[in-house]
Amino acid sequence: NAGVTQTPKFRVLKTGQSMTLLCAQDMNHEYMYWYRQDPGMGLRLIHYSVGEGTTAKGEVPDGYNVSRLKKQNFLLGLESAAPSQTSVYFCASSRPTTEVAKNIQYFGAGTRLSVL
């Protein structure tokens, strides 16, 4: 049971470099999310997707782009990294249902990104 897998686990970038974070889920979930987590700030939603081919902005979308070409994959891109993007990034997935108890998010282990 892989669940939600994020790659890479760690990355160091220089200011201005670009990179893509990959999230893959094997639970056939419709919804996928990208969060960033900074000390004292909790989880902040960057972008999310409600299905293959769809994306939407979350709370802190500036400086990031996303794509969901396949249902199981959700990519987060940084076109020109900035030190303010140093953070821990989490991907999550869920299956929306009218049964609230089943609207659980499953998270990956995170990607720790440092931008120098």
The contact set with another protein (CB under 8 A) reads 4, 31, 33, 40-43, 45, 48, 50, 58, 90, 92, 94, 96, 100-101, 103-110
User: CA–CA separation, 93 vs 7, rounded Å?
Assistant: 15
Nearest residue (CB) to another protein, 9 versus 14:
9
Residue 26 beta carbon to another protein: minimum distance, rounded to whole angstroms: 15
Pairwise CA distance, residues 34 & 32, whole Å? 7
**What is the Cα–Cα distance from 80 to 72, expressed in whole angstroms?**
26
Length of the chain counted residue by residue: 116
Toward another protein, which CB reaches closer, 15 or 56? 56
Smallest distance from another protein to CB 4, Å: 8
